[in-house]
Structures are given as C-alpha cells and as structure tokens.
Amino acid sequence: MLEKQRNAQMYLPVYIAAILIYLLAGILQPRFLSWSNNVNLLTRIVPLLLAGIAQTFVLLTGGIDLSVGAIIGLTNVVAASLPFSGTAYNIILWLTVPLLIGAAIGFSNGLIISRWGFPPFIVTFATSTIWTGVALLIMDVPGGDISLGLYRTITGKLFSIIPVPLLLIIFFVASSYIVLRYTSFGRSIYAMGGNKQVARESGIPVERIELYAYTASGLFAGLAGMYLSAIMVSGDPLVGDPYVMNSIAVAVIGGVALSGGRGGVQGIIGAAYIFYLIDNLLNLLGVSTFYQYVAKGLVIILALTLTSRDRGLLLSQNHSKFTERLRRPNTKRN
Amino acid sequence: MQMPKPSMVNYFKQQKVILLLLCVIIGMLIIGEVLAPGFSSFKHIQTILRTASFVGLAAIGQTLVILTGGIDLTIASLITMGQIFGCLFVNASDANLWWSILLILLIGGGFGLISGLGVSYLKISPLVMTLAVSSLVNGVTLISVDGAPKGRASPILEKLGAGSIAGMPSMVWIWLILTLLVVLFLRKTILGRQVYHLGTNDIAARYSGIRTARVRTMVYVLSAMFSVLTGILLAGNTARPFLGIGKEYTMWSITAVVIGGTSMAGGSGGYLGSVAGTIIIIMLEGLLTVISIPEAGRKIANGLIILVMIMIYYRQNKKR
C-alpha cells in the first residue's frame, strides 16, 4: 500500500504534466489531436524511449552510461550497411547483428566498470569516443540502405488499425518494467543502487549485476539504433549524439534518481511525451526554435525542483549524503 | 579554523603524476619529430601551445568543479556565448572592449550562479543541472543574435587572441599568468583548500565550519566566468563570430582534467595536471592530423588514451 502511494506520488505528476501539455497543444491547434499526427508522434518517440530505458537500467545501479549515443550511432550504421539488401537474409541480419553489437559494447563497458572499479562516467565517456570513431570508420557520411519492407512494417499498422510503434512502446516498456520489478536481476539493481555495500554483504553478486545492467543498456541502445535505421531508411554515424543527454533528461524527468536505487520505467512514457511535445507545442505557437532550448532547460530544472520525490530528497539529504560518504572509501579501494 | 596542509604523500603523488605527464609530452614530441620532421620545432610548439591555451583556460573551471566532486557541462555553451557576445558588443572598436568584457563576465557569472545555486542549495545533481543550464545558455545566445551572429573583434582583442607579445603568442602569456594564479589559489589560499575539502568529504567540511554551499556556488560561478573569458579570447582569435565554436570544449576540458590525474570523485588532483592533459590532447590531435589519420581514428585514439590513463591512475590508487 505504501509503495503504491509512493509510486502514485512519483509518477502521477509526470503524466498530469504530459496530458496538460498535450491538451494545450490540442487547443492551440485542433489538427494536433488528429489520429495521423498521433501516430506520427508515437513513431518519433520510440527511439527516445528506448534510449531512456537503456539509461534507466544503468542510472538505477548508481552509474551512468554516456555511450548510449555512440552505441545508437554504431548500430545504426551497421544496420544500414548489412549485405543482401532487399532479401530475407538482410532482415534476419538486421534483427540480430545490431542487437548483438549493442549488447557486446554494453557488456565491455560493464566489464571495465565492474571488474576494475573505474568510474562509469569517464569509462563510458572514453568508450563512447572510441565507438563513435568506429562508426565513422564504417560510414563517414550518412548513407547505406535498409529494406523498404522493414520501413513499411515498422511504420505500418497491425490489422490495419493498431500502429506498430505503439505496440513496440507497450512491449518494451512493459518488458523492462517486469524485468526491473519482478526478476531477481531487477530487484538486485535496485538493491545495489540503494546501497552497494549492503547489497554485497547480503549476498547479491554486485559486480555481475552491474555487468548485466550495462549489457541491458547496450541492448536497448542497439534497439534504438536499429529502429532509427528503419524509420530513416539509412544510416548516420552521428545520429545518436543528442540521445546521450536526452536519455538522461528523460529518465530523470520520468522519476529516476541519479544517485541510483529509486525510480523506474513507469514514468518514462510521460517524460518522453513532455520532452518531445515541448518542441511541438512551441512550433505550434509559432515561437522561434531558439526558445525551445530555454524551455527544455527550464522544464528539466522544474521537473527536478518541483516533483515530490525531490522534496523528499531535500529533506533526507543529510542522511543520504552521509551514507554516500560512508560508502565512498570502500568503492574507492576497489 | 586550522588550515590543514596537503600531506607529504599526496604531494609526492601529485609530483609523480606531473612527472609522468611530462614524460608523455616529451615522448610525443620525439615521436612527432620522427614521424614528421618539424613537429617539435619552436614554431610548431608555439602553435600547439596557442591552441592548447584556449582549452587550458576552459579546463581551469572544469578542474575547480571536478575537485569539488561535480561536473560542468555548461562550458561549451558558455564559450560560444562569450565568443558571440564578444563580437557583438565589441563590434570592432577598442573603446567597447573593456566594458564588454566586464558585461560578458557578469552575464556568464550569472549563469554560473544559477548552476551553483541549483547544485548547492536545491541539491540537484550537477550533471543534470549544468545540462539544463547549458540548454538555457544556448537559447539565450541564439535569441539575442536571432540566429545570425554579427559584429567582429577589435584590434586589441585580436592581438590578445591571435597576436604575439615578446616572441610568444599572447594567449600563452595569458595562460601562464592564469595558471600561476590558479595554482597559487588552490595551494595557498584558504578558499582554495576548501575546494579540496568539499570534494574529499562534504559532511566533514560542513562540520569543520566551511560554508560548503557558498564555496560550491562560487566554484560554478568561477567556472562560468573562465568559460566566457575563453569565448571572448576566441573571438579575438577568429575575429568573426561562429555559432557552435565552443562545441568540443566541454569534452576537451573533461578529458584534459581526467588525463591530468584529477579524481572524478573530487578532492584530489590539481590544475598543473590539467595543463599537461590539455597539451597532451592537443598534441595528440596534431600528431594524428600530421600523419593523416582521419577523424574516426583520432576519436578512437582519444578514447583509448583516456582508458589507458585511468588504468594507470587507478592502479596507483590500489597500491596505495
């Protein structure tokens, strides 16, 4: 009961804000509410959602993954430069190779971070530069091609009524929710994000969980790269650039604490909508695109200061800071 | 309040890092000279130092912030702002120069104040806070010039950014003076030592009477001011305004600080390391360009050097 109440407190504001912005956009421009515009919105939100989920897995462990963008870029160009274009082989390769690459990069990040105890920020920063370089080696300018069938499938409709992107959103958010909430892997992520030392002492294989969390992050980033290649029908080595910071912003607006252990994917759809709708709304209002930067900055700051969970953070700040300091010497020695 | 002195162990550790970095620099000069004769000529070293000086100035702020255990992602946007506003306000006239610099420093400091207040009083994570503020800065820059930057630098500013004084690029002199000031500030002043204490142990710092929130806020303000200053000087270097000129500087500054041996957790390291780190990344960039490695290869090399450096530093920590 208590957890349910807290969940409502955490995630309700995000969805209320998303709905308000959505309705405001609808009032300003009735065409905004049209079915086709909504399908279009869904199509565009998927990669942001996938990147946000990727980031969530790692943020919950108390780490950070700056290589999300590089993985998206690399898997994107790999997906667009697969051989046998237009045949079934191509589609089979498209479904497997980028995913494996994404997971492998995530795995290698996790290995460096968990085995050697290096700070995630700087490790993923370094690997992100490396993998962006590799992506540029494969394709230095946007190009390549994707089977048109893939494009049609992904932007199409199931039974000619349910848009496929909607299904993808439901599937990926639900499956990551289930993994985080109901599997021992997911619960261990929360435990180690809450307090690494306590988690280790209560028998959780912290290093392995951390390794898997980064692998999951790479996997979801790979999915985002694949998806982007399908809707763009081509590859672009730098397509992932904005997703590094946007994925963090979406996860944080969606209620994930950067200190780890708190939050989840429950708020992420609302957060992605808020993040994406701001641009849309300002366009509808005829405001210069320059103001969108200001608006985005303000929304992130507002989301952090106004939501109830952060007031909670402020109140318990002494406590959490203190335990953080207690943990630090141990994590340093690793 | 008693001033804690840096322990001898720490002192030697830091000297060792600087020594190691010096060896790397000398090694790179030798390799460069072998691969491309003239790489280590006095003239080319001057060019390297001039390019490095801009990154070095930006790295001052980043070093201070990282020493407190934070991170500053506003550097790129603030440098662009400084450069655009520099050209806009100065508008090719030396008469405008001094009040322009003052005004831009104030504007930059204002944005630093927003970051600092958010981080220290609202307890927002520095990563997200500075990310949000950098979005604000980008917006304000674009709005104030309406997307089309105007104006140009004045003769004195160009002399500072691109010219030479007494046989050395004036930027190198500026960098040298500021390096001296920053190193003295961090080692010899109470405020400088407090920056370290904030990074080592925030709670202990607060209980020993340091006004942690105030010092932390000041660090972000200083960082922002150094960033816009870098931007103004870049205006002198390029003479014309360019949107996105600062784009790479956030990442460069972080790389320089990390290579320089300052711990991301805060509390240990110093600016001299960042100076060496800056020179190393600029030299590496130049070296790889000279032997015509494409951008892709340069990126991979940059990533690898960071990984190698953290391996070296963390192994040292383990031994200790």
Cβ A79 vs Cβ A226: under 8 Å: yes
> Any idea where the domains of chain A sit in the sequence?
2-333
In a domain, B216, yes or no: yes
* Interface residue of A130, A138, A140 to substitute, partner B, most B CBs within 10 Å: A130
pLDDT for the residue numbered B9: 54
> Which residue carries 């989301």 as its tokens?
A303
Structure-token pair, residue A118: 């290096």
8 Å CB contact of B128 and A332 = no
Q: Sorting pLDDT into bands at 50, 70 and 90, what band is A262?
A: confident
Pairwise CA distance, residues A224 & A105, whole Å:
14
Q: Residue B131: inside a domain, yes or no?
A: yes
The residue-averaged pLDDT of B99-118 equals: 93
Of A144-148, A210-214, B188-192, which gets the smallest average pLDDT?
A144-148
* Shortest distance, CA B47 to any CA of chain A (angstroms): 25
**Enclosing H/E stretch for B121:** none
A265 to chain B, minimum CA–CA distance in Å?
18
A140 touches chain B (CB under 8 A): yes
Interface pTM (ipTM) of the complex? 0.80
CB under 8 Å to B218, separation ≥6 — which residues?
Answer: B116, B191
Whether B127 sits inside 8 A of A258 (CB atoms) is yes
Contact status of A302 with chain B (Cβ, < 8 Å): no
The pTM assigned to this predicted structure is: 0.84
Q: Are A257 and A314 in contact (CB under 8 A)?
A: no
Q: State the Cα–Cα distance between residues A120 and B64, nearest whole angstrom.
A: 20
Which of A4-13, B26-35, B123-132 has the weakest average pLDDT? Answer: A4-13
pLDDT digits 0-9 by tens, B111-127: 999 999 988 888 888 88
Output the six-digit token pair for A126.
């370094």
Q: Which residue has the higher pLDDT, B158 or B318?
A: B158
Specify the pLDDT at position A115.
Answer: 85
Tell me whether residue B2 is in a domain: no
Nearest to B254 by CA among A252, A121, A106, A69: A121
Task: Count other C-beta atoms under 10 Å from residue A187's C-beta.
Answer: 15
Quickly state the pLDDT bin for A333 (edges 50, 70, 90). very low
In which band, very low, low, confident or very high, does the pLDDT at B168 lie, cut at 50, 70 and 90?
confident
Lowest pLDDT segment from A306-315, B137-146, B194-203:
A306-315
**Structure confidence by residue, pLDDT tens digits, A164-191:** 888 889 999 999 999 998 898 988 899 8
Picking from B201, B255, B318, the nearest residue to A325 by CB comes out as B201
| Residue with the larger pLDDT of the pair B263 and B104 | B104
| Proportion of chain A above pLDDT 70, given as a percent | 87
Residue B252's CATH number: 1.10.3470
Contact residues, chain A, for B296 at CB < 8 Å: 133-137, 140
pLDDT at A318 (0 to 100) = 38
Longest dimension (CA), chain B: 58
Q: Which domain holds residue B253?
A: 8-319
Q: Is the pLDDT of residue A8 over 90?
A: no
What's the pLDDT tens digit per position in A36-59?
A: 888 888 888 999 999 999 999 999
Burial of B253 (C-beta count, 10 Å sphere; 0-12/13-18/19+): buried
> Please, is A150 exposed, middle or buried when counting C-beta atoms within 10 Å of its C-beta (0-12, 13-18, 19+)?
buried
B302 to chain A, any CB pair closer than 8 A? The answer is yes
CB A74 within 8 A of CB A134: yes
Q: Which of residues 146-165 of A touch B (CB under 8 A)?
A: none
Cα–Cα distances (Å) from A214 to A43, A111, A186, A189, in that order, read 26, 9, 13, 11
Note whether A271 and A55 are within 8 A (CB).
Answer: no
Number of domains forming the structure of chain B: 1
Q: Are B269 and B95 in contact (CB under 8 A)?
A: no
For the cut 80, the answer to whether the pLDDT of residue B10 exceeds it is no
Confidence band of A217 (pLDDT split at 50, 70, 90): very high
pLDDT at A241: 85
> Is residue B172 scored above 80 in pLDDT?
yes
Contacts with B, A 238-257, CB within 8 Å: 245, 248-249, 252
Tell me, what's the pLDDT at A33?
Answer: 82
Average pLDDT over residues A194-221: 89
Decide if B135 and A293 are in contact by the 8 Å CB cutoff: yes
B122 DSSP assignment = S
Residue A315 has a pLDDT of 34
Domain A2-333: which CATH number of 2.60.40, 1.10.357, 1.10.10, 1.10.3470? 1.10.3470
- Mean residue pLDDT of chain A comes to 81
Asked if residue A158 has pLDDT above 80, the reply is no
Of A304-318, B77-91, B125-139, B305-319, the range with the lowest mean pLDDT is A304-318
Task: Please name which of B29, B46, B41, B35 lies closest in space to residue B290, comparing C-alpha atoms.
Answer: B35
Q: Are B50 and B283 in contact (CB under 8 A)?
A: no
Of A126, A288, A300, the CB nearest to B131: A300
Mean pLDDT value across chain B: 86
pLDDT tens digit sequence for A237-257? 888 888 988 898 888 888 888
Q: Is A122 exposed, middle or buried (0-12, 13-18, 19+ CB in 10 A)?
A: buried
Whether pLDDT at B57 is above 50: yes
The answer to whether the CB of A232 falls within 8 A of the CB of A226 is: no
The CA–CA distances, whole Å, from B283 to A131, B38, B44 equal 22, 13, 10
Whether A119 sits inside 8 A of B264 (CB atoms) is yes
Residue B1 covered by a domain:
no
